[in-house]
Structure formats: C-alpha cells, structure tokens
Structure 1
Amino acid sequence: MTSPALAHQTANGRMYSRSLNESPTVPSITTVISQAPSDMSGWAGHMAATTLARDPGLAAAAGNPARLKSLAKEASAAADRFRNAAAERGDRVHFYAEQVALRALGRPHQLAEAREELRSRGEDAFAARLDEWWQLYGVEPLVPEITVWNQEVGYAGTLDLVARIGGRLCLIDFKTKGTDRSGQVKAMDEKVVMQLVAGMKAQESLLDAGAGSWEPWAYGSDPILLGVAVGETEVRPMQANPAVLRYHWYKFCALRRVWETQLQAAEAGRALLPIGPPAVHPEAAGAAALD
C-alpha cells in the first residue's frame, strides 16, 4: 500500500489528517471498505498446507514431533508472507505508474529508478505491460496520486490517477494481479467499484499537505470509473457499471457508519461486567433459619 503524506496507520485503521501538523480525523476509503466481512480462512489454510507439503525438510521431520511443530508454525504464516510480498510488489508497480504519469506531464520523475527497481526483483514484465496499455489506450494523465476528502460522510483517500482516455475523463485505480493457469491476469475484486465511487463522491482535493490547503473536487462530474488490473502477461481495464454505482455508494456509506459505531462501542467501556449473586432478603433469611 502506498503512503500518501496525510495518511496515518492507527489502532482504528488507516486514517487521514487535514495537514501535516494535524492529527488524523477520518478513516481512509480502504479502511471503510475493510469493514465488509471477508473470510480468507480457506485460502490461508490452503497456503499453509501447500507450503508445508513443499518444504524440503518435511520428510526428515516425519519422526520428530518438535521439528514437525516448527515446520507447521512456519507454514501457518505463509498467507501473511504472501500477502505482504504482494502488497510490496503492488507499491512498486503503483510507484512506476505514477512516474510514467509524471513524465508525461513534464514534471520531475524517477521513472528510470522505478523501472530498475522492478527489473532487479524480476518484476519488469509488469512495467512492460503497463507501458503497452498506456500507449494502446492513449492515456493522457491529468493528476497522479491525488488525495481527496469528503467532509459530509467523513472519509478521505488517494486516487491512483485522473486521466483522459478517448476524450473521456477517467478515475483510475491500478490493481497489481497475478496470472492464472491460462496466462491471463486474475480478476479484480468487485470492491474496487466502492473504492472508485467513493473517490468520485469526494468534495475536496489536496493542494498542499504542509499548508493543509484544499480545493473543490474538480473531477467528480460523470467520469468513467476504471479498475485496471496490471499483470505480467496483460493489463485488463474494467469499467464500473454506471447502473450499479448508487448501490455501491450506499454500501460504502453504510460501512462508514459501521466503522464509526464500532469505534464508539470500543470507547464506551467494557462490554461485559462481572456480577455477583443476589443479596439474600432478610425475611427469606429468617424463614430459612426456622426451617
């Protein structure tokens, strides 16, 4: 995950502040979306089992319970390691995409360094496919990595790219994806629609993080919302269906209320309190003594 200047990791998830000198006050778009239930236990179990089965030391540990326990413990963290590695790779690909946009805009960039970083890690194919897509679609960048804010609902986030493609304004979110067995880039999660529609519904965009200056959001009027899956074999852009946007916006707003309510519940105090047996009434105690 990239780290915009005003984003902060907190105990309540990723949050945004209004300036570099202020504390965070609203959750990020991704933090809000993360309130939706997501059961990854099956995938995590598969990753652990696969890692253990492929461990070269498994056969030698077969008669050693302590060693088997150690291998199992290490394998159980396989999902976290995979997820962290994928997130770091995604950051590198996102950084490269940002540099491509900055170069096209004639602004200072680190394109050569970003490309070399990918090449050194065996990830150059992601950059090559992104370059091909960029040229094929005639992407005309307007603003890369733009931080937006919605005061009414209470959230903020950073959009990967605002651009024009074929003369149409587009809000773009890049997703770095693996490749399936058929050689195609894996499908994106439909949650990207919530992410994009929340960006579209922003009210302000950041001008200067240090000064904490913002301006009215200029790109929310009827843009095309594009989730762009970047893989090693291809880039697959997918448009958010305009007919469903209102429902994904309603869902996002509901999840924002869930986030706030959970925070209020956590801050309200202990949910369960100890309780002793009821006191014995004096009359009942006297009757017991007569018996």
Structure 2
Amino acid sequence: MLVGRTQLARELVALGMRPGAVALVHCRMSALGTVVGGAETVVRALLDAVGPEGTLVAYVGWEDGPPDDLDALAVADRELVLAEQPVYDSAVGRARRDHGRVAEALRTWPGAIHSGHPEAGVAAVGREAEAIALPHPLDDGYGHGTPYARVVERAGQVVLLGAPLDTVTLVHHAEAIARVPGKRRVEWRCPVRVDGRREWRTLHDIDTSNGAFPYEQLTGGVDYVEFFARAALDRGAGRSGPLGATTGHVLDARELTECAVELIESAFAQS
C-alpha cells in the first residue's frame, strides 16, 4: 500500500492531533505501508498536522553508547572503552535504531533541539522545541524537570504511527513520579563533558528495562508499558483509528500519565 503525506496528515488530524500541539511521537515505518518519501514524509505530515505553532518530540536515546555493564567486560576491553568511548554529542550521536527512522529524522531535522541526555534524550522540532528539550538532568532522566514532564505540563499528546503500545515512553515518566517507595533502580557509567573536560560519571535512574516495580502481579504477563497505555485508552484518554496501512493512536499526555500513576500507586503503595 502506497501512502503519501496528504493522507497521513489528514488521518492524523482525524485521530485528534491538534494545531499548536506538543506531540511526543513514536513511529514504526514498516507498519504504515510504503510511505512515498519515507521518514521525511512522515515528519512533514506530522508538521502539517500540528501546524507552525506546534512542536514534535521524539525519544532518541543513543545507538552507540557504552556497554551497560563495564565490569562484565574483559580487562583489556574495559580499558579500551574507558579510554576511547566518546562523550555523547547530540549533533552526531545516532538515535537508537529500535526507536525507528522517524526518531533519527527528527534528530537531524533543521533546527532540531537535542536534550543532550545520552540515554533518555529527546529531539524536538518546532515552536517550543528549546523550552521542551532543555534542561535534561543526567540523573532521573524521566522524572520531574525533564522533557517528559514538560510535555505533560503543556497539555501534550502522545502519537503512535503504527508503533505498538509498548513503545509509549511517557509511561516511564509516570513510574518516575509515582509516590511509591522501593522502586527498582539502575546505575551505569558514561563519559560526560564537565567544564570542558571528559570524565566518567555514574548515572542513576529507575529501571526502565524490567520496570520500576514487579508488574507481573498487576498486568497478568502483558508488557507493562502496553498495559498502562491500553488502560488509558480504555478510560477514554485517546483515540485510535486508521493510519496508512495500520492503526494509529493519539493519547492525551496528562490523562495517560495520571492513569498510569493512579494504577501504580494503587497497586504498590503498600508493598
């Protein structure tokens, strides 16, 4: 199925994308069909939908970051990484491939503002790009004072273009701000630039790979990110419908976050 810019923009508006909106987007190009012009066309269709006053945001991460567990490497390999791993440079550090081609297209789009975080980083394009992207604290990169918090504060939207519900990154923001003790946390080492010097720093965050809590008891084995996104849709926090050759979703960022926080706090506040 061939899909063009005009069709995508029209269907995104029908799904509820608003002119002037701040939109956190996730895209699986292969699900949309054969898009004439590829990822560039998808970005242009998104820009058509939000208009000149709108802002697009994408979770980009870092494809070529250091290994998660340096201590698991052989001594010689660890020394090589410590000596030669580059500091994250958002101008050239590629978006993670599993985040999709649209994330990389937005990272390299003219005028894009990068938040600079090597793992939880975002790229933003549009009127409020700088206000959304900056600053981005190195520790607790999904919590208060981050781009994800500012998407919610600005009544933003989460837009899935063929991407599955388990890609909704804003669920990690809900995990981070839920008022529940005992969250599972991780730490990893990464080179950063401090006062013009390269130095290794240990960064800390909630565990976004396995989840901040033992969600199995709540989700019944469903991926927890999908579980919270679907719960929000079931509560009327968004709309689903045709988009290219697949199904698209547009969710209200604040309602999604509130739904996930409520479910997390109800399930784990006493644990």
TM-score, structure 2 length as denominator?
A: 0.26
More helix by share: 1
Max radius of gyration: which structure? 1
TM-score, structure 1 length as denominator?
A: 0.25
